[in-house]
Structure 1
């Protein structure tokens, strides 16, 4: 394959005057990475355009991908196609690609890596460790609305991977303001290093991609279309790939055609498909023409022949076909959503519904469209020049490389002080969900050099924060929690919190008060004011809104205290939500009560790592002659122990021959003493049930290792940490079929049931206890399913904390 002859590394070259950059720019070696390089895919197209531009500017370009049509990068640069073992899921593919890329980047170290997305997110994040600039052109992850089954699981995993890796990428370049607002900022967690660069529209002026299954000249097709048009048959082009399901909503074009034919009988609909995927309805067969996969020159001519283009897509991050159509001064209709308002030539072309699209199509075909449309299309012809897009991308590459070569951070290098509010974890002897998050997260954050943690507790009597005392330090360090040496040092020198902060403060970044716990002492707003009064920023973790959404499961004191906690939470600068479910609950609550949300919110799934225990990656062998089932959960109403016990009685009554044992682990809940009493009664009545109360991490680990699978009967959660912890330790889990539990279960190694129905619980218990093959398969999956570590989680939180920027004050 022909290759650009590289200049000596580090040589200077003169930039062409049209580049818009400085006269002299250092030659660079750039690696472009993407899953594929194939014809007619949007991201593939823009990466090839970027590569050609960079080569024209004198840079050397190489490609790495998983699938490639070798004709696309021909004459641009070397292509490496990675070989990935079959059967890997999305996360495992990311890890395997990252492993292969480490070797690739060592053998041929570039100055910058430019990524089109999965499965190279982890690679771009790791580039910084090797002194390589990293950039991601963010075309967005597909919307999840209406998705089910494997497609939904895949998209959720993609968003999770983005949120894990994007904070560590140098530059992120969303292709529209819509993508920037809806995905880039939420997934990255902050605005630093983000620049929206709209794509171009004039790429079809020069054929870029080779032909597919169409005649390269396309002469026969174009002659047929021209003949139809001359005979009075107006032509409509269905824009983009035709997909029978998903957000493309391609089949809606048939509804438009069916209705338009009533007014314009001779109309024809052109579809970019060879007949494999489009499933043409029989009543429309005579009015649909299949185009196959024409080359660029043919498609351009087709667009020029057509009267109008239709884009019924329900989500688009930019929409190439629309701007391609408009560049040729042809109108394109689309729904008023996604990035369409940014790229459409005139607001009239935006449709509110299919009915609206039908009406406007008829008006265009019958020459009744607004007269100003043609003027708008004339303007749009010059609105999206690729030269501007490519130059802006090159500017970002040069800037990122210059930053890495300088060896200087772009921001204040001094570590940021984080006041870690551990008011509850410093006195709670147990290790329930929120306490586990607090202890494990701060234990990992403490190891990050860019942060300096100061552990504090709120003194409600003195109305101020204080450093921890000896007993509080000991309680915090339980269950693998952090060791607070700073307060011990302050104690030895008789320093209070204010004096300690003055002593350790360096740099210019304001400290951040970080509250990972739920504040139910009524002092949420007071704590917030304490931090604001000292010019600190504020951040928190949102766990759930259960006392608001499901008050029947909560103690009356918690219900009474929760609105005040939420009101304070809304005023924080930054919030990490543990799930999309909790995020949506908060936003729904603010909407219902017409409350402003000051905070920026980023959804970040919790880690599934059990304490500091290593992951069990090989399926454990059966150790018992009986099946052992484990339930780890606090004894409170929503955890639904009552239904579990009822199901267990049914199972024991119907299957007295089944050798099975249930172990219950969990702390008492002061607001529901009846649950503890019910468990005690069950233990007294049935020798197959045992209750162990609160266990140390080691004792609980031993209990997990002695069981065959777990059950988590909770009905409502913000996240459901015990589910992933069970899988971390190689034990499949039975869980509820709704809410966030179903979301966690969707990636495998779990069985779901309606946990409100004891009969369903009984059935799924019996099934997993008696089907050895099923249990073996699920155990295998639990050992291989991708689960984040606390270190992974802390890396994301730590990066966000280090990059938080001071907000401008608002006037209430």
Structure 2
């Protein structure tokens, strides 16, 4: 016989009471925001009143907020469409049923019944999800971790940092560890550790932060799986959504990236369509987004305003100190530095070829490549580096190097090489110049925007001979090298404070 486990009715009753209380609390928040008087009503009566208001409203934001209050989750575009159409078909008397039927699927598959919600009103909300959760610090993360801390101690710049909860159904407050990753990357206050994995029970009682009458700044390129939910926020919630626009490389140079990267970026562009403003990190990056926006009228859309807010070109005091602690030894071979994540468009193969040819010519130097990458992208390159090293060439490739070690390499480098085929900005060039190190770099796009102020030799990155010639000149021509160093010394790098000020002014406008 099959044994039957008895039901503890007291436990079930307690659970139902808790769910009812949580729902009542969320709906009360919604009612207050929509100016609906629900005093003295039961949760079911409150929901009925709100459903009637949402049905009669011409504003999609009322329905968006009702969805959040009922489910404890942010709706997707499709889920908003389902709710809207159900309410259009409903009568006032059946609006409650329409709302319940439209949200039943979500409520049955998410652990959100006991959640509380808080409306974050009339402020700037900054989505820093990736920087908050991961110990990774390349281009985009450097921008966020330099920019956001500049706003922390300014009472005139009220804002709230948020990340996505574990099941990516809503925003939540950052933990202390996550705030440390974002705000104190160069001076960590807490020991590094992984974020804990929440249980279903913990997910069920999370506190969800809900943007309301606010500006939502997407400071990173969001993960693929939240782009649709963010698009729903931009389209329906009434919040204004701004983006920092880094580049459109996954589409305009799709031949250099895995297909999945281009597909993910295409979904990101759906969010771009409905955002208020894109803050391009260079004029080159802005032009890419302007090109996309110019195609939107064919879809009946206006698209966002695109403005250029060029990134800072300074490095942190920590970086300067680390670079200053070392210096080239007079008798040592000159060091050539090539920094950047390893992928085809970064053109490291061309730099390695140029170095090999110069080595065969008899020039003495040590070349160091720094930057991670997928195994597919790095395998051939690393094999070639190993082979050249065995033949006596001083060549290294570091896939994982700490910031202190990286800045130390700049301290001993004679020059750096960054001949990328396409960049949104080109932080390795800016950082090299900020540390007084001349650069061989490309002669177009965002790299030209940085290099034209001086301190660089510019080349066509598709011309191997031009790269070889530029590297040879910087290895052998001390007068040229000194002239470029002097050019750099006269520059006034744009500070991260200045960049943060410009972004804030654009977001708060």
Secondary structure at the residue paired with 1:426?
Answer: helix
Partner of 2:251: 548
Does the 8 A contact of 2:234 with 2:271 survive in 1? no
Partner of 2:374: 669
Partner of 2:315: 610
The separation in 1 between residues aligned to 2:401 and 2:265, in whole angstroms, is 29
Partner of 2:11: none
The separation in 2 between residues aligned to 1:669 and 1:471, in whole angstroms, is 28
Partner of 2:218: 515
The separation in 2 between residues aligned to 1:720 and 1:497, in whole angstroms, is 39
The separation in 1 between residues aligned to 2:508 and 2:220, in whole angstroms, is 20
The change in CA–CA distance for 1:568 and 1:613 in structure 2 (over 3 A counts) is: same
Show structure 1 runs of 5+ residues with no match: 1-414, 503-508, 804-812
The change in CA–CA distance for 1:614 and 1:701 in structure 2 (over 3 A counts) is: closer
* Pairing 1:18-167 to 2, within 5 Å after superposition: none
The separation in 2 between residues aligned to 1:760 and 1:537, in whole angstroms, is 47
Q: For each residue in 1:108-165, what CA deviation from the matched residue of structure 2 results, as whole angstroms up to 9, or x when unmatched?
A: xxxxxxxxxxxxxxxxxxxxxxxxxxxxxxxxxxxxxxxxxxxxxxxxxxxxxxxxxx
Partner of 2:436: 730
Shift of 1:722: 1.1
The separation in 1 between residues aligned to 2:399 and 2:369, in whole angstroms, is 7
Is residue 507 of structure 2 the alignment partner of residue 801 of structure 1? yes
Shift of 1:520: 4.2
Alignment counterpart, residue 752 of structure 1, candidates 458, 468, 473:
458
Shift of 1:611: 3.4
The change in CA–CA distance for 1:483 and 1:605 in structure 2 (over 3 A counts) is: farther
The separation in 1 between residues aligned to 2:258 and 2:188, in whole angstroms, is 30
The change in CA–CA distance for 1:416 and 1:682 in structure 2 (over 3 A counts) is: farther
Partner of 2:337: 630
Does the 8 A contact of 1:439 with 1:481 survive in 2? no
Shift of 1:669: 3.1
Partner of 1:463: 169
Partner of 2:364: 659
Does the 8 A contact of 2:171 with 2:208 survive in 1? no
Q: For each residue in 1:650-677, what CA deviation from the matched residue of structure 2 results, as whole angstroms up to 9, or x when unmatched?
A: 11011x2x22111111122356243444
The change in CA–CA distance for 1:555 and 1:602 in structure 2 (over 3 A counts) is: same
The number of equivalent residue pairs is: 373
Shift of 1:449: 2.0
The separation in 2 between residues aligned to 1:797 and 1:419, in whole angstroms, is 13
Shift of 1:780: 1.3
Say which is worse superposed, 667-676 or 443-452, in terms of deviation: 667-676
Secondary structure at the residue paired with 1:566?
Answer: helix
Partner of 1:583: 286
Does the 8 A contact of 1:555 with 1:671 survive in 2? no
Partner of 1:788: 494
Q: Report the aligned-residue RMSD.
A: 3.2
* Pairing 1:437-456 to 2, within 5 Å after superposition: 437-456=143-162
Does the 8 A contact of 2:455 with 2:484 survive in 1? yes
The separation in 1 between residues aligned to 2:307 and 2:255, in whole angstroms, is 28
The change in CA–CA distance for 1:431 and 1:462 in structure 2 (over 3 A counts) is: closer
Partner of 2:422: 716
Does the 8 A contact of 1:531 with 1:537 survive in 2? yes
The change in CA–CA distance for 1:457 and 1:802 in structure 2 (over 3 A counts) is: same
Does the 8 A contact of 1:473 with 1:483 survive in 2? no
TM-score, normalising length: structure 2: 0.66
* Pairing 1:360-379 to 2, within 5 Å after superposition: none
Q: When you count helix as a share of all residues, which structure comes out higher?
A: 2
Does the 8 A contact of 2:423 with 2:446 survive in 1? yes
The change in CA–CA distance for 1:587 and 1:800 in structure 2 (over 3 A counts) is: closer
Partner of 2:412: 706
Partner of 1:649: 356
Larger Rg: 1
The change in CA–CA distance for 1:717 and 1:471 in structure 2 (over 3 A counts) is: same
Shift of 1:678: 4.0
